[in-house]
Amino acid sequence: MSKLVVTNKETIRKLNKWKKLIHNLDDYESYLTVRDVNQIGRRHWIYCPIQKLHVHLLSDGELRAYKKLLLQKNIVRIFSQYALDLDETLDISVSLNLIHPRNWQTNVAHVMTTDLLATYRNKEGKEYRIAYTFKYWDQIYKLNTKDEVERINKRTWQKFEIERQYWKRRDVEYRILTERDATKEEAWNFDYFQLAYDFETNIDELKQFCVAFIQAWIVSPRAELQVLLKSLSVALNHSFQRAQSLFQFSGLHNLLPVNINKFIRLFRPVELLL
């Protein structure tokens, strides 16, 4: 019979220190950082100029998921590697008759974290949260002989369930993301839009540009993006660079119905979802 999962003072001390820190949301720090993870794979420690936060993402897929969430229209903030209360996850694991994540050699419990915790604001101005876990598709699913999707890696799904129940107690929706939900195209487009994150403009100029861009696109939907921007720079008496920055800023803030599931490049047509 396995030993009882236990905690230690060092873990509790680190978790309590983090809890005190996050009371000031402007100074949020990820509980788990890239330096804490000793595993093979690409990890990303980035400074997000939009949120003005350091963000720790433990795979390329997590990075793409983070970028996709930032492009959502009603997003308020996103926290990475958000720690869950250890006493509570231990309690949940016991109630579900599941083994809590632990050091298998010492049986000391690990603090569980949610990869991305996003806060949104609805049309009425009320904020709500959604918790996201990222895993690559072939780590948790497979196709059987009938081409039906089946779950694999039972232990991973057990951990998901502990996490799901934790957020359910807080009336927070819990979702599992894979690379099929956050594509390379979306990440590429975010990087392109983000070049204009500190671009200075005003509401009137943005309205004028967006209306003119949609009208020009309706007339020539197959024109290269650079051709549309050149024509608009002339029509609106802007430089080409300013027209491009207006397009990027509008894309970043969801002011244009751009299809972000296709690579946006100057020498290609852009697709609007009208």
The answer to whether 135 and 156 have CB atoms below 8 angstroms apart is yes
Q: Rounded to whole angstroms, how far apart are CA atoms 141 and 4? A: 31
Predicted confidence at residue 50, as pLDDT, reads 87
- The answer to which of 21-30, 67-76, 230-239, 256-265 has the lowest mean pLDDT is 21-30
Q: Rounded to whole angstroms, how far apart are CA atoms 108 and 189? A: 43
Q: Considering all CA atoms of the chain, what is the largest pairwise distance in Å, rounded to the nearest integer?
A: 77
Predicted confidence at residue 2, as pLDDT, reads 45
Can you give the residue ranges of every domain in the chain? Answer: 9-177, 196-252
The DSSP symbol for 72 reads: S
Per-residue pLDDT, averaged over 157-180, amounts to 97
Predicted confidence at residue 73, as pLDDT, reads 83
Predicted confidence at residue 1, as pLDDT, reads 37
Instruction: Enter the pTM of the model.
Output: 0.85
The span from the first CA to the last CA of the chain, in angstroms, equals 61
Q: Rounded to whole angstroms, how far apart are CA atoms 51 and 246? A: 20
pLDDT of 31 > 50? The answer is: yes
Return mean pLDDT, the chain: 93
Predicted confidence at residue 209, as pLDDT, reads 97
For residue 43, give the nearest of 52, 51, 31, 33 by alpha carbon: 33
Can you point out the beta strands (E) in the chain? Answer: 44-48, 53-57, 75-83, 113-121, 127-134, 141-143, 149-151, 173-177
Predicted confidence at residue 39, as pLDDT, reads 64
The fold adopted by the segment(s) 9-177 is: Trna Endonuclease; Chain: A, domain 1 (3.40.1350)
Per-residue pLDDT, averaged over 160-169, amounts to 98
Using one digit for the tens of pLDDT, what is the confidence trace for 55-70? 999 999 999 999 999 9
The answer to whether 169 and 91 have CB atoms below 8 angstroms apart is no
Predicted confidence at residue 40, as pLDDT, reads 61
The number of beta carbons lying within 10 Å of the beta carbon of residue 97 is 7
Cα separation values, 244 from 12, 28, 51, 264, Å: 50, 33, 23, 12
Using one digit for the tens of pLDDT, what is the confidence trace for 111-153? 999 999 999 999 999 999 999 999 999 999 999 988 899 999 9
The answer to whether 59 and 52 have CB atoms below 8 angstroms apart is no
Can you point out the beta strands (E) in 6-126? Answer: 44-48, 53-57, 75-83, 113-121
pLDDT of 51 > 50? The answer is: yes
CA atoms within 13 A of residue 207's CA, in its CB half-sphere: 3
Predicted confidence at residue 4, as pLDDT, reads 80
